[in-house]
Amino acid sequence: MAQKVDYAALKKGGYMRQKQKGYGSLRLAVIGGNLTAENIKKVAEVAEKYGRGYVHMTSRQGIEIPFIKVEELAEVKEALAKGGVGTGVCGPRVRTVTACQGSEVCPSGCIDTYTLAKELDERYFGRELPHKFKFGVTGCQNNCLKAEENDVGIKGGMNIEYKEDDCISCGVCVKACRQDALKMVDGKIELDAQKCNHCGRCVKSCPVDAWKGLRDISYLLEEPSEIISIKEKNCFL
C-alpha cells in the first residue's frame, strides 16, 4: 500500500500541489529579488533534470519550479542546496521579503534595501501567523516596489540639511524638487518642510553639496485585515 503523502506539511516548505497527479510546483527562497549566477545555474540544472526545463517567475520576485514529482522532492531539495538555493514557504506565514535595488544600484535610492531585506528575512521568514504576511522594501519615494501593498512596507528617504554658506544659488535643486518644496527668493533657497517628502533629489542634484542627506526609512503599515489585527502586527514586529 502506497504511503499517504502529507501535502499540507509539504506546502509549508513551499511545495504546492498541481492539478497533474503526483506533481507539484516548488517555490524557492529568494531574498530581495537577488540570486547569484551560481544560484541561477543550479536552478536551471534542477529544472532541466527534475522538472520540464522551465521556471515560473512570481509576482513577488520569487521563482517556482513546476512539475516536480513528489517522490523526488527530497532529492530536488538536496540538489538545490548544493547550489546555495533554499526553498520558500506557502500558507499562513511570513513570505518572501521583496526589495528594489536600492542605493547600491539605483541613482534615486536612499537606503540599502537588500541589506535590510536580508535582516528582515533572517528575523521573520517562515514565521507562523494567522494569515500570510508580506514585507516590501523600496529605496525611495518613487516607490517602485509599491510599499503600501505589503503588510509592512518600508520606504527609503533622507533627512535633509541645507548649508547656506555653500550654496551658489544656481537653482538646480529647485528644478529637481517634484514637491514644490523649494523656492528661490531673493537669491536664496527657501524650504517648505510641510511639502518635503524626503526624496533626496535636492541632495543628489546639488553640484556643490550644499544639501546634505542623512539616510532614513519610514515604515508604512497597512490598515488591518479581518484576519490580522494591528495589535498582532505590532507584537510581531
| Other Cβ atoms closer than 10 A to 192 | 12
Scanning the chain, the segments in alpha helix (DSSP H) are 7-12, 37-50, 73-81, 113-124, 172-176, 201-205, 230-236
Neighbours of 101 (CB within 10 A): 17
CATH code for the domain defined by 7-81:
3.30.70.3340
Residues of the chain with CATH 3.30.70.3340: 7-81
CATH architecture of 98-236: 2-Layer Sandwich (3.30)
List, for residues 25-81, the tens digit of each pLDDT value: 999 999 999 999 999 999 999 999 999 999 999 999 999 999 999 999 999 999 999
**Per-residue pLDDT, 215:** 67
Q: How far is 103 from 108, CA to CA, in rounded Å?
A: 7
- The overall pTM is greater than 0.85: no
Residue keyed to cell 533622507 = 158
Q: pLDDT tens across 215-234, in order?
A: 654 443 334 333 233 333 33
Q: 152-186: b or e for each residue (b if 16 or more CB lie within 10 Å)?
A: bbbbbbbebebeeeebeeeeebbebbeeebbeeee
Check residue 228 and give its pLDDT. 33
**What would the DSSP string read from start to end of 80-149?**
HHTTT--B---SSBB-PPEE--GGGT-TT--S-HHHHHHHHHHHHTT-B-SS-B-EEEESSTT-TT-GGG
The three-state secondary structure class of 30 is coil
pLDDT digits (tens, 9 = 90+) for 70-83: 999 999 999 999 99
Q: What's the mean per-residue pLDDT of the chain?
A: 89
pLDDT in tens, 95-153: 999 999 999 999 999 999 999 999 999 999 999 999 999 999 999 999 999 999 999 99
Please list the residues that pair with 57 across neighbouring strands.
63
Q: Specify the domain boundaries for CATH 3.30.70.20 within the chain.
A: 98-236
